[in-house]
């Protein structure tokens, strides 16, 4: 990724006050959050709010997640650097960029083509070479490149889709918010020796995952 110096002071402060202060410990995640220029993933009118402690609108009733949420979900994936990761809900592409700095290849899906188009422009301009974006129903995963070491869903699901568990590699980790359309609990699903383990983390609020294995609209 090319280095972006603009808003660097705000970015460092965001990491110190929102990410480290709240207990994120994975140094690789912390460094990635310091590097990726979050302001470039929102419209110019939001640049001055881009490093604040909340989600922001990205159009089409969707949002770029709160910085802390991005860091926390990424930390739970425990990426070491050589993984293949699937993200469902590209949105702005910000989380995609964070993942791309931490693993070898990211596949990311969104159902809204306009968001995918904009996200592609952004990650291309930043020089990313390990990001693959498509438009489609991510609640069904992306079977073509399965299995994945990590799967991250950035929209709220009514339940954990079996299709996603199937696309998880041995020792793979799936992170997904599960609940109703207004609030969810962040879940981790692990696959180990063919067995499935589930752990619940904290409460969160995501826009709904809309699709065959999500909410029907």
Q: Which residues in this chain contact ligand SAH in the complex, by CB under 6 A?
A: 62-65, 88-89, 91-92, 94-95, 109-112, 115, 137-139, 154-155, 207, 209-211, 214
What distances in angstroms separate CA 79 from CA 12, 125, 162, one per listed residue?
Answer: 22, 24, 23
Alpha-carbon distance of 108 to 136, in angstroms, equals 10
Q: Which is nearer to ligand SAH, 33 or 197 (by Cβ)?
A: 33
Q: Which is nearer to ligand SAH, 91 or 179 (by Cβ)?
A: 91
139 carries an active-site annotation: no
What distances in angstroms separate CA 149 from CA 54, 63, 80, 82, one per listed residue?
Answer: 29, 26, 11, 9
Least distance from C-beta 87 to ligand SAH, angstroms? 7
Q: Which is nearer to ligand SAH, 83 or 87 (by Cβ)?
A: 87
Which is nearest to 199 in space by CA: 78, 68, 55? Answer: 78
Q: Bridge-partner residues for 198, per DSSP?
A: 189
Rounded (5°) CA angle 53-89-129: 95
Least distance from C-beta 206 to ligand SAH, angstroms? 7
Alpha-carbon distance of 83 to 100, in angstroms, equals 10
* Residue of 65, 92, 108, 213 marked catalytic: 65
Catalytic residue numbers read 65
């Amino acid at each position: 990724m090319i280095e972006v110096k603009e808003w660097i002071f705000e970015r460092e402060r965001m990491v110190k006050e929102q990410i480290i202060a709240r207990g994120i410990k994975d140094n690789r995640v912390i460094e990635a959050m310091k590097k990726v220029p979050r302001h470039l993933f929102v419209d110019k009118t939001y640049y001055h709010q881009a490093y604040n402690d909340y989600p922001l609108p990205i159009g089409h009733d969707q949002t770029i997640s709160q910085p802390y949420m991005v860091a926390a979900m990424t930390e739970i994936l425990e990426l070491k650097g050589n993984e293949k990761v699937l993200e469902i809900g590209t949105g702005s592409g910000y989380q995609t960029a964070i993942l791309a700095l931490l693993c070898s290849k990211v596949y990311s899906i969104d159902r809204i083509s306009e968001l995918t188009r904009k996200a592609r422009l952004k990650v291309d301009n930043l020089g990313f070479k390990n990001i693959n974006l498509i438009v489609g129903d991510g609640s069904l995963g992306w079977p073509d490149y399965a299995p994945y070491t990590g799967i991250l869903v950035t929209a709220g699901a009514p339940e954990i889709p079996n299709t996603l568990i199937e696309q998880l590699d041995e020792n793979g980790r799936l992170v997904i918010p599960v609940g109703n359309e207004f609030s969810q609990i962040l879940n981790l699903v692990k696959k180990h020796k063919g067995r499935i383990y589930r752990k619940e983390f904290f409460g969160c609020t995501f826009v709904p995952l809309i699709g065959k294995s999500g909410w029907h609209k």
